[in-house]
Structure 1
Amino acid sequence: MTLITKMGGPATLLGLLVVFTATACAQGIPVIPDSWATDCVGRMQINLPSNADVAAMPPKDFIKEFEIGSNQPIYLLPSGERAGRSSSDYAGKLLISLALSKSERTKVWVEAAARRARNQIYLNKHGKPFFKGEHIETSRLAWHGADFYTAVLSVGDSAIFWEAEGAAEKQSLRTKRYQTIASGLKTRPPMTSPAEPGVCLPYAFIRDDDDQPFRSIGIVYQLRDHPDITVFLQDRSAEVVSPSSERRPETYTPSYKLNDFWAPFGRDGGSYRSVWFPPGRNIKLAGYEGKAAFVEFTHPDGSVDYGYTVAVRGDPDSKEDRPDLFLYVLRHAALAKAKGIEPVSKEALLKMAETIAASVKRRPVKQ
């Protein structure tokens, strides 16, 4: 039985993760150092070993959304590194930009007004209703039809684009969601965790008193003291199970999601293998049962790095909020070497990753 995978590797690692399990952190739960920074993702809280840069959409890509839209928005770290898997959806599609310059902010409002005008012309042409919503100069612009609601809002140095659409009979609910966003939105500096109910986005926070709106919020961090380390945490409303004729049941499992994450590392001349044997370990993340993997991956140029991943399957039928969770802690040694910094060792990475995982919990709030 091989632990090395390249093309076609998903089935191999998935099989191993399903067949073999062990208990992680057999020596006890790691202690979170008091010096670690605290941040929040969605309704979760996380601790990191140093301050970190946070990914969001570059201004030019954010502005393009008004022109053409995208099914896969581009999120980058301030350093310019791509931040895959990032998301900030809340009660619909929600995008947030990195800090905007004065000229970029002006461009945002020009393009937002142009999109509203295009929507109005189209709906009027087809005899459909169009409603101008709130308009607060360089702060808020909203509009809607019978089956959608769109808004652009300023928050700190960033801007937010929000859009929800669907059946016309749900329009009153979309209106309520917009009102929640508009009244509850406020800036949130990185490495802060508000004590009030709501959801944390990159650079922003939305206060709400209802945990029912759909959310899929995944934030990528790059540690400032360790630029070779990126951390990702996703807090997502538990996926509703589709009929087996549309989607295989095993695709919802933690083992499958771990394997799905690692599979691309085995393409284009790269490879990956589990450092652990057995490779899949049972673990709790934020108090929920999940699966962890610690993996060595080889880049096409032959350089070697390591990564730690955890997946949790939530419960879409639970009366309480039981989300899907995903965590990764990855090392890309070249990013540290480029700055003359010694990369984090394999052993130190694992210890760091397990401590970060132990820190994840539902964010405590005061009503």
Structure 2
Amino acid sequence: MAMKFGTMHRYLAMIFAVVSSVPTLAAQQEECVGRYRLTLPSDAQVAMTTEKAFNGRQSSPIRFSDDLTASLSSFLYNGTFLISRSVSQGEFDALVTQARSNAAASAQSPYADQRFSVVKVSGKQSLIWKAATTSGFFTYIDGTAISFLARSGSEQRAVDVLDHLKVRADGEVPTMPGVCLPGVFISSSQPDYSREVGVTFRLKDHPDVLIYFRDAKALTGQPKLTSRQKNEFVWTSEFGVGKAVKLHGAFPWRTVKLDGREGVGSFATITRRDDSTDYGYLVTVQGDPDAATDTPDLLLYVERNDAASQGKTPVTAGELEKIGEEVAASIRRR
């Protein structure tokens, strides 16, 4: 039977209203952190070491381009990394020249722990150095300045890391075994001496949304917190997100899996120091230092920071929780 015109009009209006209410989805961005990969809901910026911090002149050294700090981020893999795209070639050349000058001057020091030497120089692009208890390198590749410091008096660890290092673009996820840091990939299938790679992303369409993921090698001697205990500790002490945190739900702890490993998730309203309100989604997974295979501590934290919204409408509590759940579901061992 033919549909009457009035009924047809109302039907089409309803369809149009439903379609119009569906938000336009931006292209997702694949990323990698440590030995894991994850999917971000849209294009994102990654926090990296600032130019000032690379030259030793800034606290809170990992930041976004508008100077918003990423205090949770950590670039530790068999040593400590500084990684910056804001250091020019000229600034890097000056840094290497100064390092060589300092090494020559340190030879006159009467104390062994104050002396260091340049082991190898590859043109203007790389310099490997060593001291009594530390070693490291500086390198500059395709506009990315990288510094590495290892707690080892032998330069071999620095040599090994530099030999297996390459830069990568945002969204580029290598297929070979290795460790991802912001803008950097170190190929390796060997057990890691140490690894605590925590990276903070910020959605370009929603600069109020920060996504932090951490892959930390489980080490013997560390406090053995369960996933739930770690979740509670993060909210109450570790992150210091505000002056008050209120978990949602009568039973706020829920089972969430990262890479198929069972952990604990929670969602909270955060009251900041200035009494403003934000939201956070947290998942923690306990590692096992005694496992036959690498079984690290995993942590995902998705936060709304209204103060960083750059004039754009902040996401709602429900939207932030959904983003957190989708990112958690995407995390896989790479």
Q: TM-score when scaled to structure 2?
A: 0.84
Match of 2:67 in 1: 80
Q: CA deviation at 1:268?
A: 10
- Give % identity: 32
- Runs of 5+ unmatched residues, structure 2: 1-24
Question: What are the residue-to-residue correspondences of 1:198-347 with 2, within 5 Å?
Answer: 198-242=178-222, 249=223, 252-263=225-236, 270-336=243-309, 338-339=310-311, 341-347=312-318
Larger Rg: 2
Q: Equivalent of 1:178, from 142, 158, 161?
A: 158
Does 1:60 pair with 2:52? yes
CA shift for structure 1 position 193: 0.5
Cα distance, 1:130 vs structure 2:
5.7
Matched, 1:109 2:96: yes
Question: Is the Cα contact below 8 Å between 2:235 and 2:241 reproduced in 1?
Answer: no
Cα distance in 1, alignment partners of residues 243 and 192 from structure 2? 41
Change over 3 Å in CA distance of 1:49–1:266 after alignment to 2: closer
The 1:75/1:304 distance shift into structure 2, 3 A limit, reads: same
The structure whose RCO (Cα within 8 Å, separation 6+) is larger is 1
| Letter of the 1:233 counterpart | F
Q: Does 1:134 align with 2:120?
A: yes
Instruction: Assess if the C-alpha contact under 8 Å between 1:198 and 1:205 holds in 2.
Output: yes
Aligned counterpart in structure 1 of residue 319 of structure 2, from 348, 361, 367: 348
Give, in angstroms, the shift of residue 277 of structure 1: 2.3
Range with bigger deviation, 150-159 or 309-318:
150-159
| Amino acid of the structure 1 residue aligned with 2:35 | R
Residues 297 and 335 of structure 1: is their aligned pair in 2 closer, same or farther, counting only changes over 3 Å? same
Q: Counterpart of 1:212 in 2: which secondary structure? A: coil
Which residue is 2:3 aligned to? none
Mean Cα displacement is larger for which, 191-200 or 208-217?
Answer: 208-217
**In proportion to residue count, which structure has more strand?**
2
Runs ≥4 in structure 1, deviation > 4 angstroms?
Answer: 127-131, 264-269
Structure 1, unmatched stretches of 5+, are: 1-32, 243-248
1:276-327 C-alpha deviation (Å, 9 max, x unpaired): 2211112111222211110101123332110001111111112211111111
1:159 aligns with 2:145: yes
1:147-172 CA-partner distances (Å, limit 9, x unpaired): 43221122332222212224x6xx4x
Paired positions, count: 310
In 2, distance between residues paired with 1:112 and 1:129?
Answer: 12
Q: How big is the alpha-carbon RMSD for the aligned residues of Structure 1 and Structure 2? A: 2.7
**Residue 219 (structure 1) shift:** 0.6
